[in-house]
Homo-oligomer: A and B are copies of this chain.
C-alpha cells in the first residue's frame, strides 16, 4: 500500500462530515453509529480504517487521554481539551493557553519538541448540577 492516492469515497466523506459537524469528540463506535444512519451497511473496519487515514491526512486528530477509547476530533487545528471526570465528555478549550505554553516551554532535557497535548480534567456543568449535593 503506497497510500498517496486517497479516494474520497462516500464512506470517508460522511465520516468526515459527521466529525466536522459535531464538537462532541466521538469515539470510533459513536462515529460508526452516527454514520450508520446514513450508510446502514458500513462496517466498523471501514470506520477505523478511514479514521486512521483521515488522521494521517490531518483532517482529523485523535484525542487519547484518560480513557481506553480513542476519541476523534474533526477540528485538526491545535487546541486544548477539557474532560469531565464524571461522564467522560470532552469539550474544547479556548486558544489562549497555546501561545503561553509555547512561549514558556524551555525544556533543557535534550528533547526536540514537536508537539504537545494538554487535557484539563473537571466536572462539566451538567455533572456539577447532578452531583451538586456532594
Majority secondary structure, A binding face:
mixed
Q: Which of B65, B115, B119, B125 contacts A121 (CB 8 A)?
A: B115
Query: Is A91 interfacial (CB 8 A cutoff)?
Result: yes
Query: Is A122 interfacial (CB 8 A cutoff)?
Result: yes
Q: Which of B67, B84, B110, B116 contacts A120 (CB 8 A)?
A: B116
> Measured between C-beta atoms, what is the minimum distance from A55 to chain B in Å?
12
Query: Is A97 interfacial (CB 8 A cutoff)?
Result: yes
Interface residues of chain A, those whose CB is within 8 Å of chain B, are 64-67, 82, 84-85, 91, 93-94, 96-97, 100-101, 104-107, 109-125, 128
Give 17 A-B pairs besides A112-B122, A113-B121 with Cβ atoms closer than 8 angstroms: A65-B65, A85-B114, A93-B107, A96-B106, A97-B101, A100-B100, A101-B118, A105-B120, A107-B120, A110-B124, A111-B120, A111-B124, A111-B128, A113-B120, A114-B121, A116-B119, A117-B117
Q: Could you give 22 example pairs across A and B, Cβ below 8 Å?
A: A64-B64, A64-B66, A65-B117, A82-B111, A84-B111, A85-B115, A91-B109, A93-B107, A96-B104, A97-B104, A97-B105, A101-B101, A101-B118, A107-B120, A111-B122, A112-B123, A112-B128, A114-B121, A114-B123, A116-B119, A117-B117, A117-B118
